[in-house]
Amino acid sequence: MTMAESAASRAEVLRTRDLVGWAVADPAGATVGTVSDLLIGRDGRVRFLAVKRGLLGSTVLIPVEELDWGEQSMRLNRWLDADVRRLPPYDGDRPLDGEVVAEMERAHPRFYGPPLPFDALENQGTPQIVPLREARGFRLPKDAPNLRGWTVFGEDNERVGVVEDMLVDPHLMKVMYLDVDVADDLFRLRDDRHVVVPMEFVELRERGEDAWVHVLTAREIAALPAYTGGALDPLIEKRVIQAFSRESSSPALPPEHQASLRPRESRVDLPPPPLPERHADESYPDERYPDEPPPLPRRSDADY
């Protein structure tokens, strides 16, 4: 430790340059990056720390409330390294004006939004909605179209982006959402913005390989909370459902216009039906397989 570093570690009031280079770790002790800058609001309060993730990694903003200060190091009090990876990159050349801050809070409510109630701080239970590629045993019908790459349009006929993937509920064996890669000109943050759209509000047009979203315009869809991959965060799902419900006088499209991508059932993927109880003579048809003939009657010893 140099003399300057020793003096900084004993100082009660630190300068910005004293903090640059401090390591930031998560609660498990994994290093997530180093401090590269401090961002101060017009009220004079430190709002964010800019944290550089590795030599070639991006810079992200971490709210100062999420950090515990130590001796020339900081520790996140809740977020893990995997959570920090979900943060949008920070561009130091662009000012954090009110619109950008509002978009951060809207797109990433778990990280930048107002304080959440206790029951929303953590994901509860086993993940239910997952990308199709991660759903074990899930199969689409053979004649179902592959929606990846289809163009997505909003209620105003403006282009939103393209379909990246489908999100499914393996327990219900149903496609629940489209993962939409949003066009860059519809938002201000410099991230690879994805949002999810409920299938019941989507109309598929196979001839043009288009997916038309009802109720919300293109910019309203782009303003939905960001989907950052993996199992769908219940908080994000709740905000998406609220957005469509607020703008819709009816819960969904009429059934004849809804996109239908129900998968085929499989005995391997679904739990087998319970075995029926047999009668003493076992001479009635098997109810599980009504097309099969009834079993042959038992033979007695006298028949041989």
Q: What are the domain boundaries of the chain?
A: 18-89, 130-257
CA 47/CA 43 separation, integer angstroms: 10
Q: For every one of its 304 residues, what pLDDT tens digit does the chain have, with 9 covering 90 and above?
A: 554 555 555 678 888 889 999 999 999 999 999 999 999 999 999 999 999 998 888 999 999 999 998 888 999 999 999 999 999 999 888 889 999 999 999 999 999 998 876 445 455 555 689 999 888 888 888 888 889 999 999 999 999 999 999 999 988 889 999 999 999 988 888 778 999 999 999 999 999 999 999 999 999 999 999 999 999 999 999 999 999 997 655 444 444 444 544 433 332 233 333 444 444 444 434 444 444 445 445 444 454 4
Question: Is the whole model's pTM more than 0.75, yes or no?
Answer: no
Q: How far apart are the first and last CA of the chain?
A: 98
Q: What CATH architecture does domain 18-89 belong to?
A: Roll (2.30)
- Residue range 130-257, CATH number: 3.90.50.10
